[in-house]
A and B are shown apart, each in its own frame.
Chain A
Amino acid sequence: MAAEGVRKEPKSADNPILWVARPMATAARQFGKSLIRPSTIVYPFERLEDPQFREEVAVAAGKPIGVGAVWDNYRGVHALNVATCISCNLCAFSCPDLCIDMVTVPGGDPKHPKKCPEIDYGKCSYCGFCSDACPEGCLTMTTRYELSTAKRSEMVYSPAKLYEVFQRKLPMNPVRIELPENEDAILLDPPLCIGCNACSRDCPTQCITMIDIPKVGPKPGEKPAKRIWKEPVINDSDCVRCGTCISVCPKECLFWGSRT
């Protein structure tokens, strides 16, 4: 008596000839099926779907990318729009793997060279912090996943190469974490400032203007202060909080703080 719930084997399973014949028939059927075309996709030479195709589908569907398909949320190779990059360095700051180097690219003036990210995909963990940090939205992550190279050095993507990826107009990963309103601002400690103009010069968004301040004479018994009588004023609405001004300030008179 078969126990409750145990599937009873068909009677024919008792025949040892069938133990051999059945699997062999199954194998022969499989062989016949795959003789014309096996299921294997010969990957580098043929693909189930190619990125170009995916882009066409996304465009044809007219749907906002990020809705519906799994690959819409995929974080692959970055695309860099070199034209809108402001060299703010925030991507390199935010990178947890230190895989982003800011390298000089043509297009800047000699005083204010243009620097764009160069990404080493041997180190990158595809966390997406850099594209979240990018204030101009010029560094985004695409759904491109084919990265294999013959040399390790080819895994370092220069800004030019990242721009090529951008030009291919691959579907971008649009998921940007909405950062909370940043109440922090760059504050100035006026007595320390020497009015040297470094912050204003290096600000990637040109949101710092130097304004004239009244000249204060030396107190009795002190030497006259060696300084330019100007002070930076920061336009908070244009500031991207990159901190470049803090790092270039020779007197450390700029610091993070709250205006309220």
Chain B
Amino acid sequence: MSVTLLSVATAISQAILGAIGSVLPQPASGAVTNVNTVDGLAALIFAAILLLASMLNTIVLIWWERKLLGRFMDRRGAMHVGYAGLLQNFADGIKLFRKDTVKPREADTLGFWSGPTAYMVTSLIIFAILPVSTGWNSGSLPLSLLLALAVFSFAPLFIFVSAWSSNNKYSLIGGMRSAAQMIAYEVPILLAVVAVVLVSGSFDLQTIVLEQTNYWFWVPLFLALVVFVAGMLAEMERIPFDLPEAEAELVEGWNTEYGGMMFAFFMLTDYLRALLGSFLIVLLFLGGWTMPGWVPAAATSFPLAGIFWFMLKVYIVFTVFVWIRASLPRVRTDQLLRVGWNRMVPLALLSVVLAALLVTVKCLPVLGCIPTLGG
């Protein structure tokens, strides 16, 4: 039996409850060591581990971006707190969390406070769905891809809610832009995903990854990858598609009125979503945790090798995002919408047609014979 995250959580839960149960007298002890109690605590521990892992990764991701961006700009980035500035983001986080959170007098209370929270929570939910390795998530969900994308596209709604309830013109413009951007980019993203689904024949992310054991999907579906990456950049609201934030023209965009902890929430969630976008790209196009056959078996069989290779790919994808951020200027709204509707939707449709063609003529297994791609 392979060790999964859930089995680890169950073991921890059993150990804790067993220790408590041995101290307590009999009737209470039986209730504590009950299967349902153990499973309930295991689920909590499972969620806590996921939360911790995703948060830690997000913070390391921010550090990685700061360091990389520094080098792109011929400077060093954070470097004094911790080794090479690794703890700088923790220090920044502590500073932000200690600050007062101020609500503008005219702002709508419910929307203003619930917007950031919902934005963060909906982004965190996806981590429970995405499989990082074979044993990582709770099990295979038949429609996990659709669920992930559906929850992923909630965010602009909450951005819009918090922007509108801030009662600030800059926030509102930012929120409007976010909504427009979502409409323009959700369609090509989903069409690009359709191509992946056609080739893999499944909506289950675990199956999609296992289908890539022989060849990674970016080879036959390169067009879909380009569309998906561009769409993801817009979904994550990163440069060059960070129009909703656009600090040069909109102060700080939709989070202008937020400070302290709420601002930290927004910033953290932005990078959480960058991490999620990289996760999705790796899962759909870069083979997830699988490695091609020419990689020596020793490199793919050590414990947690799947997670290692997966995270390596994720960080490489994110490095490309940082590279794009360091290179390209922000586009205008009309340019963004024109690229979205006039260029990316046709390209995505084309990639769907190509995928259908590839599946129909059954030439895909040939790719598996090329040694550099799989085996």
A26 and B74 alpha carbons, distance in the complex (Å)? 12
- Let me know if B98 is at the binding interface, CB within 8 A: no
B359: which A residues are within 8 A, CB to CB? Answer: none
* Chain B residues bordering chain A, tally (CB within 8 A): 15
Closest A residue by C-beta to B70: A38
**Which of A20, A23, A26, A31: most chain B Cβ within 10 A?**
A31
Whether B72 and A20, one on each chain, are in contact in the complex, defined by CB atoms closer than 8 angstroms, is no
Q: A24–B74 contact, CB under 8 A?
A: no
A-B contact sample (5 more), CB < 8 A, given A31-B68, A42-B76: A23-B327, A34-B72, A38-B76, A39-B75, A40-B75
**For residues 1 through 54 of chain A, which have their beta carbon under 8 Å from a beta carbon of chain B?**
20, 23-24, 26-28, 30-31, 33-35, 38-40, 42
In chain B between 51 and 104, which residues have their CB closer than 8 angstroms to a CB of chain A?
68, 70-76, 79
Asked whether B328 lies within 8 Å of A24 as measured between CB atoms, the reply is yes
Complex CA gap A26/B323 in Å reads 11
Contact B76 A31 (CB under 8 A): no
Roughly how many angstroms separate A28 CA and B328 CA in the complex, as a whole number? Answer: 12
Q: Determine whether the beta carbon of B75 is less than 8 Å from that of A24.
A: no
- Determine whether B24 belongs to the interface, using a CB cutoff of 8 Å to chain A: no
Instruction: Verify B76–A27 contact, CB threshold 8 A.
Output: no
CA distance A30 to B326 in the complex (A): 10
Given contacts A23-B327, A23-B328, A30 and B72 within 8 Å (CB-CB): yes
- Contact between B74 and A40, CB atoms less than 8 A apart: yes
10 closest A-B pairs by beta carbon, nearest first, are A27-B327, A23-B327, A24-B327, A40-B75, A34-B74, A27-B326, A39-B74, A34-B71, A31-B72, A40-B76
Cβ contacts under 8 Å, B68 to chain A: 31
Is A38 a contact of B74 with CB atoms below 8 Å? Answer: yes
- Cα distance A219–B363 when bound, in Å? 137
Pair B71/A31 contact, Cβ less than 8 Å: yes
Compute the total of residue contacts between A and B using a CB distance below 8 Å. Answer: 42
Give chain B nearest CB distance to A221 CB in angstroms: 85
**Neighbouring A residues of B328 by C-beta, 8 Å:** 20, 23-24
The reply to whether the CB of B19 lies closer than 8 angstroms to some CB of chain A is no
CB <8 Å contact, B75 and A38? yes
Give A39 to B76 CA distance when docked, in angstroms.
9
User: A31-80: which have CB < 8 Å to B?
Assistant: 31, 33-35, 38-40, 42
Interface residues on A, range: 10 to 19
Contact A33 B74 (CB under 8 A): yes
Q: Mark B305-347, 1 if CB is under 8 A from A, else 0.
A: 0000000000000000001101111000000000000000000
Q: Which residues of A contact B (CB under 8 A)?
A: 20, 23-24, 26-28, 30-31, 33-35, 38-40, 42
Look across to chain B and name the residue whose beta carbon is closest to the beta carbon of A36. B71
Q: Separation in Å of the B223 CB from the closest CB of chain A?
A: 14
Nearest-Cβ distance from residue A24 to partner chain B, whole angstroms: 4
CA distance A40 to B71 in the complex (A): 10
Using CB atoms, name the residue of chain A closest to B328.
A23
Q: Do A30 and B324 touch across chains, with their CB atoms under 8 A apart?
A: no
Contact B327 A26 (CB under 8 A): yes
Most chain B CB neighbours (cut-off 10 Å) among A26, A30, A35, A42? A30
CA distance A31 to B73 in the complex (A): 8
Question: Taking each of A24, A27, A42, which has the highest tally of chain B beta carbons within 10 Å of its own beta carbon?
Answer: A27
A30 touches B323 (CB 8 A): no
The smallest C-beta distance from A23 to any residue of chain B, in angstroms, reads: 4
Q: Tell me how far the C-beta of A106 lies from the nearest C-beta in chain B, rounded to whole angstroms.
A: 42
Complex Cα–Cα for A23 and B328 (A)? 6
Tell me the complex Cα distance, A121–B70, Å.
35
Whole-angstrom CA separation of A28 from B327 in the bound complex: 8
Contact residue among A27, A39, A40, A42 (Cβ-Cβ distance under 8 Å from B72): A27
Query: Can you list 8 A-B contacts (CB < 8 A)?
Result: A24-B327, A28-B323, A31-B68, A31-B72, A34-B73, A34-B74, A38-B70, A40-B76
Closest-by-CB residue of B relative to A24 is: B327
Residue numbers in A under 8 Å from B75 (CB-CB):
34, 38-40
* B319, chain A: closest CB distance, angstroms: 10
Are the C-beta atoms of B74 and A27 separated by less than 8 Å? no
Bound-complex Cα distance A36 to B212 (A): 37
User: Residue of A at shortest CB range from B77?
Assistant: A38
The docked-state distance in angstroms from the alpha carbon of A61 to that of B183 is 70
A42 to B80, CA, bound (A): 10
In the bound complex, what is the Cα–Cα distance between A213 and B22 (angstroms)? 113
Cα distance, A30 to B327, chains bound together (Å):
10
Chain B residues near A30 (CB, 8 Å)?
72-74
B38-62 vs A, Cβ < 8 Å mask (1 yes, 0 no): 0000000000000000000000000
Q: Which residues of B contact A20 (CB under 8 A)?
A: 327-328
Partner of B71, one of A23, A24, A35, A42: A35
Query: When chains A and B are docked, how far (Å) is the Cα of A31 from the Cα of B72?
Result: 5
Cα of A243 to Cα of B300 in the assembled complex, Å: 90
Instruction: Give Cα A221 to B72, complex, Å.
Output: 99
Residues of B within 8 A of A40 (CB): 74-76
Determine the distance from Cα of A30 to Cα of B72 in the docked complex, in whole angstroms. Answer: 6
Q: Which residues of chain B are within 8 angstroms of A39 by Cβ–Cβ distance?
A: 74-75
Minimal beta-carbon separation of B323 from chain A (angstroms): 6
The distance from the CB of A235 to the nearest CB of chain B, in whole angstroms, is: 61
> In the complex the two chains form, what is the Cα distance from A35 to B75 in whole Å?
10
- A28 contact set on B, CB distance < 8 A: 323
Distance in angstroms from A47 CB to nearest chain B CB is: 16
Minimum CB–CB distance from A122 to chain B (whole Å) comes to 26
Interfacial chain B residues near A35, Cβ < 8 Å? 71
A79→B323 CA distance, assembly (Å): 51
CA distance A40 to B77 in the complex (A): 10
**Closest Cβ neighbor of B339 among chain A residues:** A16
Question: A27 — nearest CB in chain B belongs to which residue?
Answer: B327
Give every chain A residue within 8 A of B327 (Cβ-Cβ): 20, 23-24, 26-27
In the complex the two chains form, what is the Cα distance from A31 to B74 in whole Å?
7
Chain B residues near A24 (CB-CB < 8 A): 323-324, 327-328
